Homo-oligomer: A and B are copies of this chain.
């Protein structure tokens, strides 16, 4: 972990690990590209993907099967100063905060905080219609429901976001409806696969559009620079000791580094 004492005073190096929520390598690369472009000079940043889990997260089943692999990326890490969960849904973030003191930031919450500082009301534009309930629950768990004008879904599957032209067109269409019909004054891009599209959308729509990955990188850098660590007071205490069948030793509560 980051120890100011052993670093060059002028240029400390923060290590931030981004964990793509799914197992699609192309998306891992795209997330990494966005993140590297916005990181500060003092940040060393790596993007990984879980060894197990779905190629994309588009329903609760996908999400729940993704979480053990996401958590494994934290359990096995001893170098990073902070973690970013790169799936708009912040899957498993409460558990992630239990297994490490190092800050864990979700790209969903990060994008909402940024939107909240730029606009009176904002909307989330995202992928396929069926994720509406998941997205609404993510807004609720972050606590910002009263500032969210709407959740707007499209016909896009997560992996179809790799087709940038189609994706931009769909997001412009839904973004416009969010602005005109729902009163949105900024937009959160509600999928890690939409990373890198914010500027094209801002040009088309004329409102701030938040790239959730980029937002999370700055939030992670902020928390590390402030020297803050996750509260171990109650909810996020380390897991209680007990055997967890079918999982490797390093995933057992007694094996977790504290």
Contact = CB atoms under 8 A, between A and B. Distances in A.
Contacts of A246: 51-53, 69
Given A64-B67, A240-B59, A222 B114 contact: yes
A194 to B, nearest CB: 15
Nearest to A205: B233
Interface of A: 10-11, 23, 38, 40-42, 50-56, 58-65, 67-69, 71, 92, 94-95, 98-99, 103-105, 109, 113-114, 116-121, 128-130, 132-134, 137, 140-147, 157, 159, 179, 183-186, 206-208, 210-211, 214-215, 218-219, 221-223, 225-226, 228-237, 239-240, 242-247, 251, 253
Contact of A71 (B64, B236, B239): B64
A65 B230 contact: no
B233 A185 contact: yes
Given A233-B179, A235-B185, A41 B11 contact: yes
Contacts of A231: 118-120, 185-186, 207-208
26 contacts: A11-B41, A51-B246, A56-B240, A60-B94, A60-B98, A61-B95, A63-B95, A64-B71, A65-B68, A65-B244, A67-B67, A114-B222, A114-B223, A117-B223, A119-B236, A120-B133, A120-B236, A132-B183, A133-B234, A134-B235, A143-B143, A144-B144, A185-B235, A214-B226, A218-B222, A221-B222
- Between A141, A208, A222, the greatest number of chain B beta carbons within 10 A of the residue's beta carbon is seen for A222
B228 A208 contact: yes
